Amino acid sequence: MVADEPPERQLRVMPWWLVLVGLLVAAALGWLVLDLLLAEADRASQPDTRATLRIDAIRTGLTVVAGTGGGLALLLAARRQWIAERAQRHQESVAARDQAHRDRVQAHAESVAEAAQRQQDRHSGAAEHDAAERRLTELYTRAVELLGNDSAAVRLGGLHALERLGQDNPGQRPTITAVLCAYLRMPAPDGEPRETEVRRTAQSVLTRHLRADDAAHWPEVVLDLTGAALVDFDATGCTLVDATFTAATFTGTTTFAGATARGRLLLGAATFGDVAFDGLAADGEVLLDGARVGGVASFDGAAFTGGLSCRRSTFADLTSFRRTVFGQPTSFDATRFEDAATFQEAVFDAALSMEHTEFGRSATFHSVRFRGMALFRWTVFGAEALFDRARFTDAANFGRSRFHRMTSFRDAEFSRPPQVDQARAVVDPGHRWPTGTVVERLDDEWLLLVDR
């Protein structure tokens, strides 16, 4: 039943005697009227008039009876019409209730079917997911097994299988990267060229997917190559996120040229042959503490926005920091440059510390901008120390430094007189000291620089 529809009253059937009573009432009313009219007609004095009146009385009585019967017949006809209309409304109400019930049944059936379909889809999706996960696990397990095979050719196949798996499944890339890094961290057999080729391939797989301009770029993967043995490692143009190379051994030529370092780049205690950091852009701190570079080292055009720490490191060959920008405090404390080192046109936006640093050959600081404090205390310059056209915006301190060859500060600019307390320099006519520097002769070989 529709909620807004009022309940119908029960239809009661008219009894037969009620119709009979109506007919009797009509007959009685007609008889009464006829009797009254006939009585009036009998009171007439003229016989002709009396007869006419009696005829009119009979006609009137019959008319009353007919009229009363007609009224009853009209009432019955009206009742039939009302009953028919009520029956129609009842049929319509029943039809509406039936339709509403059918609609509810249909909606319920559709709801049940949709719920069943959703449940089936969930089961189907879960089954597909489980199947995909099982297949993925099987592929991953198989690839790792290949990587542990004794045959170098099989290990190469395992590397390519892992790479393909990571390319097709982005969610597996961090795990695959960790597996490749772990492989490179494992000790390499000595003197086995096939293993070297496998390791080169593993390095190539890693670096290939770290280049942002490569269609196969894997973003946000993290390298942990602590203590790894790397051969001709090439990270040119790579994006390195919190990469760790602590105590890694780099043989051959290593390059980070044009790379982008996001977060910290850890290279402490690493060992290099030739290495290039040209154009490196580092927004986090770069740590080279305790590193040893046996070959040429180039940092030309690099930007160490987050700072560089290069304490107690050793550079055995030519080292270049031309046009390098140091954005945060930078330290080369106790670092040894065994061959020539140049910082020409470099910019130190914050403090620089080179205390106890040792330059075995020439040290060139032509046109360098020192915008923070520059500390060269106890620094040993084993050959020429050239600071021509350098600009010191903040304090400069060369206290107790040792200048073993010609030193030049020609056209250098200082915001305040540099501190040179107890610094010593060999006797050399080519020295060009900052204006106002007090130089005293100690003996035939050494000069003493004194603060005014």
Residue with tokens 């016989």: 47
pLDDT of residue 191: 64
Q: Which residues contact 260 (CB under 8 A, 6 or more apart)?
A: 212, 238, 239, 240, 280, 281, 282
Alpha carbon distance 452, 334 (integer Å): 28
Residue with tokens 């198989």: 142
pLDDT of residue 24: 75
DSSP secondary structure code for residue 432 in this structure: B
* Segment 64-104, tens digit of pLDDT: 777 777 777 777 777 778 778 878 888 888 888 889 888 89
Alpha carbon distance 42, 441 (integer Å): 182
pLDDT of residue 3: 47
Alpha carbon distance 367, 379 (integer Å): 20
pLDDT of residue 12: 62
3-state secondary structure of 51: helix
pTM of the model: 0.73
pLDDT of residue 354: 97
3-state secondary structure of 56: helix
pLDDT of residue 1: 45
Cβ distance 233 to 185 under 8 Å?
Answer: no
When computed from its CA atoms, the radius of gyration of the chain, rounded to whole angstroms, is 55
HSE-up of residue 449 (Cα within 13 Å, Cβ side): 26
Residue-level pLDDT, tens digit, the chain, 452 residues? 444 545 556 656 566 676 677 777 777 776 777 677 667 666 665 666 667 766 776 777 677 777 777 777 777 777 778 778 878 888 888 888 889 888 898 888 888 888 888 888 887 776 666 665 676 667 677 877 888 888 888 988 888 888 888 888 888 889 899 999 999 999 877 667 788 899 999 999 999 999 877 667 888 889 999 999 999 999 999 999 999 999 999 999 999 999 999 999 999 999 999 999 999 999 999 999 999 999 999 999 999 999 999 999 999 999 999 999 999 999 999 999 999 999 999 999 999 999 999 999 999 999 999 999 999 999 999 999 999 999 999 999 999 999 999 999 999 999 999 999 899 999 998 999 998 889 999 988 999 999 87
pLDDT of residue 89: 83
